[in-house]
Amino acid sequence: MLLRHTPETNTEKTALTVNPAKTCQPVGAMYAALGIHNCLPHSHGSQGCCAYHRSALTRHYKDPIMATTSSFTEGASVFGGQANLMESIHNIFTIYSPDIIAVHTTCLSEVIGDDLKQIINKAAAEGKIPAGKRVIHTNTPSFKGSHVTGFANMTQSMVQYLSESTGKKTGRINVIPGFVEPSDMEEIKRIAAEMGVKTVVFPDTSGVVNSPLEGKFRMYPKGGTVVEDIISAGDSTATLALGRLASLPAAKLLDTKCKVPLFPLDLPIGLRATDAFVDQLRKTAGVSVPESIMVERGQVVDVLTDMHQYFYRKTAALVGDPDHLVSLVQFLTDLDMKITSVVTGTPGGPKFEKAVRACTGDETFVKSGAGADMFLFHQLVKQRKPDLIFGNTYAKYIARDEDIPLIRIGFPIYDRVGHQYFPIVGYRGALRLLEKILTALLDRQDRDAPEESFELVM
């Protein structure tokens, strides 16, 4: 898929997306559902949709993704999918015995208008849901939103169906980590534990989509948030929502449903956002920041100081998911890099644009939602010729055509392995990011250097 035909001049597209900078809602919903222990995600639609959702996640995480489908054929497409879902629920509990089934819709079932809540109630009334087992659902129409919206919707449904307030506080703090890698969720838990803060992190895909190879098949890997913890999230002291798009809806619902106060934060990517996360944990839990965390922070400051000369005034174009982009832009501008353009297919609204511009100023091109596609991003890269591109695997075609180094970040990354094991959040994540960015810049400098300037020490 070489893109050399992409013209440099922008033409206004009002009803057309070319090469979207997003994937479909159920992909995010399925990913969130995998973050519940012993959960089987279920796609209510045709087999083709489910095959795509599973393969998108399998290719990114390099782990087999378990999920089921209502397997719509012509009959269900015309008369609705109730019978298919009823039979699915019965079969799934009988054959695969999960603790919980998390159902999401597809474009097809959304257009038909299947009432999932009613179908689940009917299944319960007819005894198809065994005692102690649960079925939850969320609506994920893919003709609006993106995989990030789907993630947010499923996370919100966890609260809607499960979380309860008993009036007896547990003293724990909820952390909704957003659509990040399992390694990032692990790192968020590690930082909190290091600070002595008891948390409920949900959804939590660590130990699920990056589980170890043990030589035997596990339908349900060891990781994931247990259902009881999501229930007790209603009794926590507070909720930290990391990322406005992916995490805030669930946190808001916890506030209105269970009176758990929420603190919206950016994804803790980079120094400033990680500082804010650590500080909020400190204040909310009433703890002090231990020396070990201060050492990690100091190392980032040290490395950042050593590297600053290489980053100063370098330019970057970014494409990806809004929550990632906001924190990344903040980090890169803190490094004194200039941001030429920021594009996301997820509708981020004016708040997204405002958050980016608060760091970059008005010269940066910022666009989200309809029309913010990879085609537009390519045109912006052609016009503004940045030193670096940040984006997922799909950006590699643009990077190759324009001969600009690509920092792979976000979702999906199909053509590299290992990202699911190395965090980009927290101070350790910041170190990794700094190393990735500098290596890309200096590799390019080495490649382009004439013989007399090819240096051993740079």
Min dist. Cβ of residue 42 to ligand SF4 (A): 13
183-202: contacts with ligand SF4 (CB under 6 A): none
Residue type, 78: V
In the shown chain, the binding pattern of residues 10 to 29 toward ligand SF4, with x for contact by CB under 6 A and - for none, equals --------------x-x---
| Residue 276 in contact with ligand SF4, rule: CB under 6 A | no
Among residues 18, 111, 287, 301, the one annotated as catalytic is 111
Rounded to the nearest 5 degrees, what angle is found at the Cα of 298, between the Cα atoms of 295 and 300? 115
111 noted as active-site residue: yes
Min dist. Cβ of residue 189 to ligand SF4 (A): 31
In the shown chain, the binding pattern of residues 60 to 99 toward ligand SF4, with x for contact by CB under 6 A and - for none, equals ----------------------------------------
Closer of 24 and 120 to ligand SF4 (Cβ): 24
Closer of 26 and 391 to ligand SF4 (Cβ): 26
| Number of other residues whose CB lies within 10 A of the CB of residue 308 | 12
| Number of other residues whose CB lies within 10 A of the CB of residue 261 | 12
Among residues 50, 78, 107, 301, the one annotated as catalytic is 107
Closer of 48 and 207 to ligand SF4 (Cβ): 48
The only residue of 82, 84, 106, 153 in contact with ligand SF4, by rule CB under 6 A? 106
Structure-token pair, residue 89: 């629920």
Nearest to 210 by CA among 229, 193, 223, 196: 223
Min dist. Cβ of residue 50 to ligand SF4 (A): 8
Q: Are 66 and 219 in contact (CB under 8 A)?
A: yes
In the shown chain, the binding pattern of residues 129 to 148 toward ligand SF4, with x for contact by CB under 6 A and - for none, equals -------------x------
Closer of 20 and 264 to ligand SF4 (Cβ): 20
In the shown chain, the binding pattern of residues 219 to 248 toward ligand SF4, with x for contact by CB under 6 A and - for none, equals ------------------------------
Q: Are 96 and 39 in contact (CB under 8 A)?
A: no
Pairing of strands 39-44, 100-105: parallel
Closer of 106 and 236 to ligand SF4 (Cβ): 106
Min dist. Cβ of residue 2 to ligand SF4 (A): 25
DSSP string, 374-425: HHHHHHHHHHH--SEEEE-GGGHHHHHHHT--EEE-SS---S-S-TTTS--S
Q: Are 139 and 116 in contact (CB under 8 A)?
A: yes
Structure-token pair, residue 268: 């803790």
The only residue of 3, 38, 52, 442 in contact with ligand SF4, by rule CB under 6 A? 52
Residues in the chain: 458
Min dist. Cβ of residue 419 to ligand SF4 (A): 23
Integer angstrom CA distances of residue 439 from 309, 351, 388: 14, 33, 11
Residue type, 160: Q
The only residue of 32, 33, 49, 112 in contact with ligand SF4, by rule CB under 6 A? 49
Give the dihedral of Cα atoms 178, 426, 252, 220; nearest 10 deg: 40
In the shown chain, the binding pattern of residues 310 to 339 toward ligand SF4, with x for contact by CB under 6 A and - for none, equals ------------------------------
Closer of 144 and 447 to ligand SF4 (Cβ): 144
Min dist. Cβ of residue 109 to ligand SF4 (A): 9
Rounded distance, CA 359 to CA 409, Å? 20
| Count of chain residues binding ligand SF4 (CB under 6 A) | 7
Alpha helices in 80-146 (DSSP H): 82-95, 107-112, 116-125
107 noted as active-site residue: yes
Closer of 78 and 131 to ligand SF4 (Cβ): 78
Please count the helices (runs of H) and the strands (runs of E) in the chain: 17, 13
Min dist. Cβ of residue 106 to ligand SF4 (A): 4
Closer of 112 and 389 to ligand SF4 (Cβ): 112
Could you report how far apart the first and last alpha carbons of the chain are, in Å?
36
Q: Give residue 369's region: left, alpha or beta (phi > 0; psi -120 to 50).
A: left
Q: Which residues are catalytic?
A: 107, 111
Q: Which residues bind ligand SF4 (CB under 6 A)?
A: 24, 26, 49, 52, 106-107, 142
